[in-house]
Amino acid sequence: MKTVLFLRHAKSKRGPQYHTDFERPLAKRGKRDAPRMGQFLAAQDQVPDLILSSPAERARQTALRCADAADYMGEIRFDEVLYLGGEEAYLALLEELDDTLDRVLFVGHNPDIEIVIEMLCGEWVRMPTAALARIDLPLTSWSGLSENMGRLCWVQYPREID
């Protein structure tokens, strides 16, 4: 059994001081919600073996804050394809994972995350900022990944966590 977790980046700032979308950092709410989701992962015994994140500032900050709150000690890989690569980038990265990894966490953007979740389990779920979803896959090797094979276990929203 393999598990893939999807965390949409937390709430980010907007404004003319950010020259590009890529540079936008977390807003106050995002700085609060990202560690909240890391604490949730730890409480659910779902700390990943690997974190893959978009390098966009808001996703990078979300990944780092979530990892810290979950006491994650592994590697965080920042991959450009998770910023503008679309849903196919997520699937390609999943299929290339080392089979010693059983649980991975993606930190990225919409609409890609919602599309990938639907592709993997056949269910559409709303993924607002800092939402976290878990999908279990009946796999022993990531290379055997195919559409509609996963089971959506849960979706957690930060506002639902005390």
Q: Which two tokens stand for residue 27?
A: 């807003």
- C-alpha–C-alpha distance, residues 156 and 13, integer Å: 22
- C-alpha–C-alpha distance, residues 27 and 74, integer Å: 26
Residue (of 129, 108, 99, 104) closest to 13 by Cα position? 129
8: left (phi over 0), alpha (psi -120 to 50) or beta: beta
pLDDT in tens, 7-22: 999 999 887 787 888 9
Residue ranges for the chain with pLDDT beneath 70: none
Segment holding 84, helix H or strand E: helix 81-84
| pLDDT score, position 48 | 98
Dihedral pair phi/psi, residue 114, rounded to 5°: -60, -40
> pTM for this one?
0.96
pLDDT in tens, 111-125: 999 999 999 999 999
Note the Cα 103 to chain centre separation in Å. 12
User: Can you give the three-state secondary structure of 107-141, one letter per residue?
Assistant: EECCCHHHHHHHHHHCCCCCCCCCCEEEEEECCCC
Torsion of CA 62, 47, 77, 148, to 10 degrees: -100
Q: What is residue 56's three-state secondary structure?
A: coil
For the chain, list the domains and their CATH numbers: 2-84+105-119+130-160 (3.40.50.1240)
User: Strand order in 2-8's β-sheet?
Assistant: 76-78, 50-53, 103-108, 2-8, 132-137, 151-156
